[in-house]
């Protein structure tokens, strides 16, 4: 099996499993929506501060709910002995990592795609936003968060503390992603040009590339027996 | 492995050296260095504050290098070094976070400001707190070593990006919190005093590292015996 | 323009924190060495007779 076929196989396994059971996606979506609604109580409805804080609310909702999916992606394999099976496959270890990254990114982006329109309605955002730019930032930001998250989830799932440990490990490391996405989502929501946030996009790209590379190199040390 | 808590002769020499170095550094910071013109005597925090920060960075860099060495060789000594250096690094960076606000309050009129250096240092501190927690919860020794090594590498690679992102954030939204820059060139005696403080803390770091490594070795010997007994 | 109180507190904190850390190392060291000793004794006794 070629390298990319290996990645695709892991990816399809996860996606198929998820679409059959919908366990992660349904909890992720419900949680995401709950966060959006809860944050609504923090602000005076209709106050001009809403536009100012909405990027932060949006990314808090995305990353917290994304965390649910990411933390499950290895723990359920370990519980059912699935990881042993995957490790027996005659493919490079990093294919498992990339397959999982793509799977987690798919799930998070799905949640984002569904939550965002609801968010726009709830928070009464003006319609003149830069949608294409937002898509780019959402994809890059999600990829970066998931790149580190998937690696650290493989670590935390193998410890005694499990799910409790993952947010403590992940969020400090993911700070650049959070800052960059929040700070570039703001101007894009106001309909500003992508050039306005070019430096943030570059930062996201650098983060994504660095951590996809570093994680794929170190991943084999986490799952080795 | 040894039975008593006594220090070896080498350790005694090292601690003697540390005491002398710190005494000299205190003399340099309080008497040799001139009083800063705008900030006054409070600026004397600077010498040990900055020295703590640099030694903190050094300690985390040692964690990074030891982590790579561990993954490459699987020799336990690298894991012991990484675990010990990380804890001492957290101690030194805690010193930075303790003294920083006490300097900021009289000079900037606020204990805390979200300036790039302060903010990224706080994140750095959080990353290594997480590192110590990972070590505490990872379970088996060999597994814990591998996981900590991976996190030690990832965490250190993250530091420059964190700094870049926070700096970008603050330059895009400048807020006039800090009145007047204090870094208008250091007097030569100040620079000398800084390097003396740095040297003193470097010796202290090495002395602490030796103690911590010794502790880590006993710790592992105890865990090993527990395993043997429960078998 | 002196703020000597802050300066004093800062240096005090540095030495207190370092002293606490060193004390914690020594305490852990002596506790672990005592534990090591008792474990070794236990293991010695057990060589031969069955588990307690």
What average pLDDT does the segment B75-93 reach?
96
Task: Establish if B63 belongs to a structural domain.
Answer: yes
**Largest CA-CA distance found in chain B, in angstroms, rounded:** 68
By Cβ distance, the residue of C7, C21, C33 closest to B3 is C33
Q: Which chain C positions have a beta carbon within 8 Å of B40's beta carbon?
A: 1-3
Question: Phi, psi (5° rounding) for residue B40?
Answer: 80, -160
Query: B165, A180: Cβ pair inside 8 Å?
Result: yes
* Domain extent at residue B92: 10-32+40-174+188-230
**What long-range pairs does A89-94 form, CB within 8 A, spacing at least 24?**
A89/A1, A89/A6, A90/A1, A91/A1, A91/A3, A91/A6, A91/A9, A92/A3, A92/A6, A92/A220, A93/A219, A93/A220, A93/A223, A93/A224, A94/A216, A94/A217, A94/A219, A94/A220
Q: Is there a domain that residue B181 lies in?
A: no
Query: Which residues are B40's β-sheet partners?
Result: B36
Quick check: is B182 in a domain?
Answer: no
- The answer to whether position B2 is within a domain reads no
Tell me whether B191 touches chain C (CB under 8 Å).
Answer: no
Interface confidence (ipTM) of the complex: 0.91
Q: Which tokens belong to A188? A: 């894009």
Q: What is the pLDDT, as a whole number, of residue B181? A: 45
Say whether pLDDT at A87 is over 50.
Answer: yes
Provide the β-strand partners of residue B36: B40
**Terminal C-alpha separation, chain A:** 22
pLDDT score of B230 more than 90:
no
| A151 contact B CB<8A | yes
Q: B12: Cβ–Cβ under 8 A, 6 or more apart, which residues?
A: none
Q: Which of A3-7, A147-151, C2-6, C45-49 has the lowest mean pLDDT?
A: C45-49
Cβ neighbours of C42 in B, within 8 Å: 229
How many C-beta atoms surround the C-beta of residue A13 within 10 A? 17
| Residue (of A33, A6, A14) closest to A153 by Cα position | A14
* Interchain CB distance below 8 Å, B45 and C6: yes
Residue in chain C nearest B230 by alpha carbon: C51
pLDDT above 60 for C37? yes
Residue B3 falls inside a structural domain: no
Query: Does A200 or A22 have the greater pLDDT score?
Result: A200
What's residue B24's pLDDT? 92
CA distance A157 to chain B (A): 10
Contacts of B51 (CB under 8 A, 6+ apart): B25, B194, B197, B198, B200, B201
pLDDT at position B85? 97
Burial class (CB in 10 A: 0-12, 13-18, 19+), B49: buried
Neighbours of A142 (CB within 10 A): 26
Angle between helices B76-108 and B141-172 (to 10 degrees): 30
CA gap B152, B84 in Å, rounded: 12
Tens of pLDDT, residues A127-169:
889 999 999 999 999 999 999 999 999 999 988 887 889 999 9
**A213 contacts chain B (CB < 8 A):** no
A195 and B CB contact within 8 Å: no
Q: Residue C25: is its pLDDT beyond 90? A: yes
Residue B133 lies in a domain: yes
Question: What confidence tens digit (pLDDT) does each residue in B179-206 have?
Answer: 444 444 677 888 889 999 999 999 999 9
- Chains touching chain C through at least 3 C-beta pairs below 8 angstroms are B
- The Cα–Cα gap between A39 and A42 comes to 5
Residue A90 has pLDDT above 90, yes or no: no
Of the partner residues C2, C40, C42, the one whose CB lies closest to the CB of residue B41: C2
Domain extent listing, chain C = 1-45
Given pLDDT bands bounded at 50, 70 and 90, which one contains residue B5? low
Residue A93: pLDDT band by 50, 70, 90 thresholds? confident
- DSSP-based three-state secondary structure for A174: coil
Residue B108 resides in a domain: yes
Q: Is B165 on the interface with A (CB under 8 A)?
A: yes
CATH number at residue B161: 1.20.120
Q: What total number of domains does chain A contain? A: 1
Share of chain B above pLDDT 70, in %: 91
Range of the domain at A90: 3-223
Contact A99, A15 (CB under 8 A): no
The pLDDT value recorded for residue B103 is 86
Q: How far apart are CA B205 and CA B63, in angstroms?
A: 13
Indicate the SS3 state at residue B31. helix
Which site among B90, B91, B102, B210 would you substitute to test the C interface, given the most C Cβ atoms closer than 10 Å to its Cβ? Answer: B102
Helix (H, G, I), strand (E, B) or coil at B96: helix
């Amino acid at each position: 099996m070629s390298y990319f076929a290996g990645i695709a196989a892991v990816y399809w396994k996860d996606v198929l499993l998820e679409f059959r059971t919908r366990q992660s996606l349904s909890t992720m979506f419900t949680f995401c929506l709950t966060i959006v609604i809860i944050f609504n109580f923090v602000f005076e409805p209709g106050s001009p501060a809403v536009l100012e804080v909405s990027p932060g609310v949006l990314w808090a909702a995305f990353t917290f709910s994304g965390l649910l999916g990411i933390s499950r992606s290895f723990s359920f394999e370990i519980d059912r002995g699935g990881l042993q099976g995957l490790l027996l496959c005659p493919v490079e270890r990093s294919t498992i990592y990339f397959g999982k990254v793509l799977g987690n990114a798919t799930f998070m982006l799905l949640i984002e795609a569904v939550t965002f329109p609801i968010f726009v309605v709830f928070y009464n955002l003006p319609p003149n936003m830069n949608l294409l730019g937002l898509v780019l930032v959402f994809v890059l930001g999600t990829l970066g968060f998931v790149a580190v998250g998937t690696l650290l989830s493989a670590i935390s799932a193998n410890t005694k503390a499990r799910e409790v440990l993952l947010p403590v490990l992940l969020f400090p490391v993911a700070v650049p992603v959070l800052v960059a996405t929040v700070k570039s989502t703001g101007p894009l929501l106001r309909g500003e040009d992508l050039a306005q946030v070019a430096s943030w996009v570059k930062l996201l790209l650098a983060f994504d590339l660095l951590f996809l590379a570093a994680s794929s190199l170190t991943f084999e040390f986490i799952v080795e027996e | 492995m040894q039975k008593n808590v006594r220090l070896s002769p080498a350790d005694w020499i090292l601690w003697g050296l540390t005491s002398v170095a710190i005494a000299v550094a205190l003399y340099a910071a309080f008497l040799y260095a001139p009083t800063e013109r705008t900030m006054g005597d409070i600026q004397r925090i600077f010498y040990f504050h900055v020295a703590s920060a640099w030694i903190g960075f050094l300690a985390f860099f040692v964690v990074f290098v030891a982590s790579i060495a561990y993954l490459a060789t699987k020799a336990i000594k690298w894991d012991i070094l990484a675990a010990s250096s990380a804890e001492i690094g957290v101690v030194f960076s805690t010193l930075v976070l303790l003294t920083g606000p006490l300097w900021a309050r009289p000079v900037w009129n606020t204990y805390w400001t979200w300036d790039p250096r302060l903010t990224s240092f706080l994140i750095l501190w959080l990353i290594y707190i997480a590192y110590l927690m990972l070590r505490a919860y990872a379970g088996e020794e060999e597994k814990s070593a591998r996981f900590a090594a991976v996190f030690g590498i990832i965490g250190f690679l993250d530091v420059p990006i964190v700094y870049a992102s926070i700096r970008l954030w603050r330059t895009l939204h400048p807020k006039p919190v800090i009145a007047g820059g204090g870094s208008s060139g250091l007097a030569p005696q100040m620079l000398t005093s800084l390097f003396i403080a740095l040297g003193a803390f470097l010796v202290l770091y090495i002395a602490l590292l030796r103690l911590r490594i010794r502790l880590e070795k006993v710790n592992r010997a105890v865990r090993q015996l527990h395993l043997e007994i429960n078998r | 323009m002196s703020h000597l109180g802050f300066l004093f507190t800062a240096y005090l904190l540095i030495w207190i924190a370092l002293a606490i850390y060193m004390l914690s190392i020594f305490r852990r060291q002596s506790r672990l060495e005592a534990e090591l000793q008792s474990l070794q004794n236990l293991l010695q006794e057990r060589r031969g007779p069955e588990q307690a």
